[in-house]
Amino acid sequence: MDKILVLDFGSQYSHLICRRIREFSVYAELVPFDISLEEIRKHNPKGIIFSGGPSSVYNSDAPIPEDAIFEMNLPLLGICYGHQLIVNKFGGKVKRANKEYGSSLLTIDNDKDLLSGVGESVRAWMSHGDEAEEIPPGFQVIGHTESAKAAAIASDEKSVFGIQFHPEVVHTEQGTEILKNFVLKVCGASQDWTMEGFIETEVEKISKIEGNVLCGVSGGIDSTVAALLIHKAIGDRLKCVFVNNGLLRMDEEKEIEEMFKNNFKVNFSSINAGESFLSKLKGVEDPEEKRKIVGEEFISVFTDFAEKNGPFKWLAQGTLYPDVIESGVSKGPAAVIKSHHNVGGLPDWLNLEILEPLKELYKDEVREIAKILNVPQNIFMRHPFPGPGLAVRIIGEITPIKLDITKRASKIVEEELIEAGLYGSVWQAYASVGDDKAVGVVGDERKHGNIVMIRVVDSIDAMTADWTRLPHGLLEKMSNRITNEIEDVTWVTYAISSKPPATIEPQ
């Protein structure tokens, strides 16, 4: 299949470039900025995109790709820092400028090729502190803003383009059309990236592995789809294991066991390890430490099961691309946001090889695969649930009271969303609790009780998220039920921070 390579220079939006391109059925892959010419040729891309990044091209430690990449005669698009790389490389001049962050009006000066069909002007998202002072010889300005006179440039002879703004973010009008123009018109890439094709390729790849596979299933869509893909490839060489870590949603362990026994014909075992997990988490407050403990205990339980029921060669997990990005195991110079138990939390002593068939996919792509594999809708439309479970929704130390509050309050939030017909239209919804307490009045008596935070967000791929504007009457209903039905709660709050700067889960 045709492929676009995106060289990652450390932008928070790098992954979104790939995501947008995949939306119109062309495969895009994020690779390190210092990828070798030899490796690029192995990929055989139809075009290359330079992402944005926090560096300045004139600094001595600026990330610079191999010179030979510029001479490959492949279509090239530079975004933000990538735009400045192109200006600098081809003989232009980049200077420090006043920082510009936010929406600007982009006026189109030449509507051929890259900006074809975009219109006379669009709102474009800027996020930069440098700009092109002089464009290179043989280039022309094809778009400008009031602050950036060379916001979009194009080579007169080569298929090389630079844009100062970010077409990959939703704040840029016609941003997807601009990427389409580059990928489909300039690069001539075929729209042959489909989930049906992914299934076929992945099943063929997995079918060639040797040995038995142990797959940890949580009941969530990711691990469920991973298990079904592997089962499709190797059949009974797969063994699915569900570990009840004591940090699940209310009555979830029963639902998961029934789901796998009634819907899927796979080898399935269940392990109740709640006491073990909770004892190791006792007294722990730091969120990263919680994640590491949960990850290591999961692997410990799986390894013990494997030794008693094996032999197994592989441990399969439903790791997704956002998990890899946030755990700092991405292709470029990304920072660690938080460790995921199935990525950053893996211990050094693990003696099983890791199989992650979904690690290059986003959540909505996994849901599309679930439909193809005939997973029941009530399963694949279920809200995502973090691998460490309620350990990351309980702020501070995990106590029996806080665990009970989180389970019951989250159940109320979900029930009210279902009743209002909104459960399927939001990305994630839950209740969280910490150590803060507030005074309330119960009957005629003063009471010092816990504060519950409700969190409901909208998202596409979990890499960015916006808080959901729920009807006030619905929020009131949730609050009333939580304070009336859960004895230890006196206040209910609603989280209105988006991602970024917040994350979806509180820890």
Using the 3D structure, point to which of 334, 349, 380 is the last residue of a domain: 380
For residues 64 and 118, give the distance between their C-alpha atoms in angstroms, rounded to a whole number: 31
Residue 385: CB atoms within 10 A of its CB come to 22
pLDDT of residue 328: 52
Reply yes or no on whether 166 is catalytic: yes
Domain co-membership, 349 together with 415: no
CATH of the domain at 466: 3.30.300.10
Q: Do 118 and 165 fall within a single domain? A: yes
**For position 126, what pLDDT does the model report?**
86
Instruction: Please report whether residue 90 resides in a domain.
Output: yes
What pLDDT, on the 0 to 100 scale, is given for residue 326?
A: 56
Of residues 18, 80, 187, 215, which has the active-site annotation?
80
Three-class DSSP labels, 389-435: HHHHCECCCCCHHHHHHHHHHHHHHHHHHHHCCCHHHCCEEEEEEEE
Residue reference for tokens 């075992």: 269
The verdict on residue 102 lying in a domain is yes
Average pLDDT, the chain: 89
Q: What is the pLDDT of residue 381?
A: 80
Give yes or no: residues 464 and 488 share one domain: yes
Domain boundary among 163, 186, 209: 186
Residue 416 inside a domain? The answer is yes
For residue 387, tell me if it sits in a domain.
no
In a shared domain, residues 304 and 448: no
Q: Is residue 391 part of a domain?
A: no
pLDDT attached to residue 170: 82
Domain that holds residue 442: 398-494
Tell me if 266 is assigned to some domain: yes
Question: 488 and 364, same structural domain?
Answer: no
Domain end marker among 166, 186, 206:
186
* Gap between the Cα atoms of 245 and 267, Å rounded: 20
Backbone angles phi, psi at 195, to 5 degrees: -70, -30
pLDDT beneath 70, residues of the chain: 98, 100, 324-350
Do 344 and 483 lie in a common domain? no
* pLDDT at site 233: 96
Do 434 and 350 share a structural domain?
Answer: no
The answer to whether residues 228 and 132 belong to one domain is no
Which H or E element spans position 441? strand 428-442
Report the number of distinct structural domains present in the chain. 3
pLDDT attached to residue 209? 95
Residue among 168, 173, 297, 326 flagged as catalytic: 168
* 182, 210: one domain: no
pLDDT of 302: 82
pLDDT value, residue 335? 43
Catalytic (active site) residue 80 = yes
Residue 283 CA neighbour count, 13 Å, CB half: 2
| pLDDT, tens digit (0-9, with 9 covering 90-100), for 285-337 | 999 999 999 988 988 888 889 889 989 999 898 888 777 665 554 444 444 44
- Catalytic one among 15, 128, 166, 383? 166
> Left (φ > 0), alpha (ψ -120 to 50) or beta: where does 229 sit?
alpha
CATH number assigned to the domain comprising residue 368? 3.40.50.620
Bridge-based pairing state of the strands 445-459 and 213-216: unpaired
